[in-house]
Amino acid sequence: MAKLTVKIPEHEYDVHIGDQAYDLLTTVYGDQLKKADQICIIADEKVADLHLDKLTNAIQTLGVKFFVKVVPPGEACKTSSVFFDCHSFLLQNHFTRNSLLLAFGGGACGDLTGFVAATFMRGIAYIQCPTTILAHDSAVGGKTAINMPEGKNMVGSFHQPAAVLFHTPILETLPPREIRSGMAELLKHALISDGAWSEELLDNKQFVSPSVEWLSVELIKGIQVKAKIVEEDQFEHSSRKFLNFGHTFGHGVEAVCGFGGLSHGECVMIGMAFSLILSERHGLQPIGLADRLIGFAQRCSYTFKPIHENSFGSFLDYMKKDKKSTYGDLNFVLLQEIGHPYVKSVSEEECKIVFEELKNRTGADRNDG
């Protein structure tokens, strides 16, 4: 069982990754669950159908009463209606400030549950039980949110979990799209932190079909990158912005495709290609990294169809609403070289040039996504 501790001012918590992670609910976290007057598992519908018993069996051994609130799968759960429905469920079942939530699903379910926990009676405790590779990023760091029609993660709060439990056998059941989604975020962590690690991932022939054993080691590396940055900058005033590499344009792609129409990580892969072309225009070394990433992405069945099927203006409308943008400017995380990110304000005109360049470099995209 691998463990990593996230330390931020006035709060620290452990991230556990292994095939016995849920056993910790009855040992390490048993007292915390017993002290809670009410426990609610907020579970992604698809994940609940497949794996809910793995979590409930562990909790049942404690002899505590718990509720299960099933929410729509994926990004469909991150709406204001589902958010308020969760609050009503808790109130109707007499939850209090001494209650505890468990997030059981991918990154979207974790974002929703965290935001419910952050706002219910002004804040209660929650534990992340992520079930996707992508959630190695979202489950750590305390960012919680729901989406609005105008943009992704526009309403949210910083609210750190009490623990993160990654039960690795569940990862063996992920479909190809979910694997691609999570692995894109893993590559993001490498590109903003470590040249050698990035080279290893870009050369990996099993990148989108990883073994759980290999993946467990890689996830710890990714979480270490995020934990270090979060410890330095909990509220995204400086270095935490680097974690948004690929996200300014990527979130625009996600919105244009309809949240859930293309997975978050697949959109981030498109966004990273966009950011690398933009980086090249501002001195990125070595030259050719953008083309290398594009070729790698296409070989691994990532799609670039959205940029061939939609106008630049469609993406621009959402990028202007991005939380990282300031009035009149679009702020991007760029790379000086692998492992050395920085933030730069970029004009709409230059973004349009880069968009056309990305279309040219990706050609008639052959992947179905």
Nearest-angstrom CA–CA distance, 36 and 100: 6
Model confidence pLDDT, tens digit, residues 12-64 = 999 999 999 999 999 999 999 999 999 999 999 999 999 999 999 999 999 89
Q: How confident is the model at residue 326 (pLDDT cuts 50, 70, 90)?
A: low
The pLDDT score that the predictor gives to residue 164 is 98
Return contacts of 83-86, CB within 8 angstroms, 24+ apart.
Answer: 83/112, 83/115, 83/116, 83/146, 86/42, 86/112, 86/113, 86/116
Q: What is the mean pLDDT of residues 331-335?
A: 96
The pLDDT score that the predictor gives to residue 365 is 59
Domain 2-172 matches domain 175-362 at the CATH topology level: no
Q: How confident is the model at residue 312 (pLDDT cuts 50, 70, 90)?
A: very high
Nearest-angstrom CA–CA distance, 255 and 346: 20
Contact criterion met (CB below 8 Å) for 143 and 158: yes
Is the model's pLDDT at 248 over the cut of 60?
yes
Helix (H/G/I), strand (E/B), else coil: 21: helix
Is the model's pLDDT at 367 over the cut of 80?
no
The pLDDT score that the predictor gives to residue 368 is 46
Across the chain, mean pLDDT equals: 94
Instruction: Classify domain 2-172 at the CATH class level.
Output: alpha beta
Q: What is the pTM of this model?
A: 0.91
The pLDDT score that the predictor gives to residue 315 is 95
Is the model's pLDDT at 288 over the cut of 90?
yes
Find the helix or strand (DSSP H, E) in which 13 lies: strand 11-18
The pLDDT score that the predictor gives to residue 238 is 82
CA angle 192, 193, 194 (to 5 degrees): 120
Is the model's pLDDT at 232 over the cut of 50?
yes
Q: How confident is the model at residue 324 (pLDDT cuts 50, 70, 90)?
A: low
For residue 221, what are its two tokens?
């590396």
Is the model's pLDDT at 369 over the cut of 60?
no
The pLDDT score that the predictor gives to residue 325 is 62
Phi and psi dihedrals of 16, rounded to 5? -115, 135
Residues 6+ apart with CB under 8 A from 167: 18, 19, 21, 22, 54, 129, 131
Model confidence pLDDT, tens digit, residues 299-308 = 999 999 999 9
Nearest-angstrom CA–CA distance, 334 and 332: 6
CA angle 86, 51, 48 (to 5 degrees): 25
The pLDDT score that the predictor gives to residue 92 is 98
Helix/strand/coil percentages in the chain, nearest 5: 50, 20, 30
Q: In the chain, what are the domain boundaries?
A: 2-172, 175-362
Q: What is the mean pLDDT of residues 190-208?
A: 96
The CATH code of domain 175-362 reads: 1.20.1090.10
Model confidence pLDDT, tens digit, residues 126-175 = 999 999 999 999 999 999 999 998 888 999 999 999 999 999 999 999 99
